[in-house]
Amino acid sequence: MKKLGITALVLAAFVLGLSQSKSFMAFANERYLELQLFAKVLNLVQEYYVEEKDTKDLIYGGIKGILAELDPHTNFLPPETFKEFEAETSGEFGGLGIEITVKDEVLTIISPIEDTPAWKAGLQAGDRIVSINGESTKGLNLVEAAQRMRGKMGSNITLGIMREGLEEPKSYVITRGRVKIRSVRYTDLEDGFAYIRLTTFIEHSARDLERVLRNHEKKNSGIKGLILDLRRNPGGLLEQAIRISDFFLEEGVIVSTKGRNRMEKEVRHARRPAPFSGFPIVVLIDEFSASASEILAGALQDNKKALVMGQRSFGKGSVQSVVKLGDGSGLKLTVARYYTPSGRSIQAEGIAPDVEVSSLNMAELERARSSRPVRREQDIEGHLRSETSQRSTSRPRSTPREAPPHSNWWSGRSAGVKSESSERDKLLNQDYQVSQAYNYLRAFRVMSN
Active site members: 291, 302, 316
Give the Cα separation of 16 and 39 in Å (integer). Answer: 20
DSSP string, 120-144: HHT--TT-EEEEETTEE-TT--HHH
**At residue 300, what are phi and psi to the nearest 5 degrees?**
-70, -35
Give the Cα separation of 328 and 62 in Å (integer). Answer: 17
Measure CA 274 to chain center: 24
Q: Would you call 82 helix, strand, or coil by DSSP?
A: helix
B/e letters for 232-249, b = 16+ CB within 10 Å, e = fewer, are: bbbbbbbebbbbbbbbbb
Q: Is the dihedral of CA 328, 329, 333, 338 positive or negative?
A: positive
DSSP string, 339-357: E-TT--B-TTT----SEE-
Other C-beta atoms closer than 10 Å to the C-beta of 302 total 21
Q: Would you call 173 helix, strand, or coil by DSSP?
A: strand
| C-alpha triplet 149, 153, 156: angle, nearest 5° | 55
Q: Which residues contact residue 62 at a Cβ distance below 8 angstroms, ignoring those fewer than 6 apart?
A: 38, 42
Closest CA to 290 of 254, 316, 256: 316
Closest CA to 69 of 350, 338, 333: 333
Give the Cα separation of 381 and 368 in Å (integer). Answer: 25
Give the Cα separation of 240 and 190 in Å (integer). Answer: 28
DSSP string, 25-78: HHHHHHHHHHHHHHHHHHHHHHHHSSS---HHHHHHHHHHHHHTTS-TT-EEE-
Closest CA to 181 of 198, 196, 159, 157: 198
For the purposes of burial, counting CB atoms within 10 Å of the CB of 415, is it exposed (0-12), middle (13-18) or buried (19 or more)? middle
Contact 151, 176 (CB under 8 A): yes
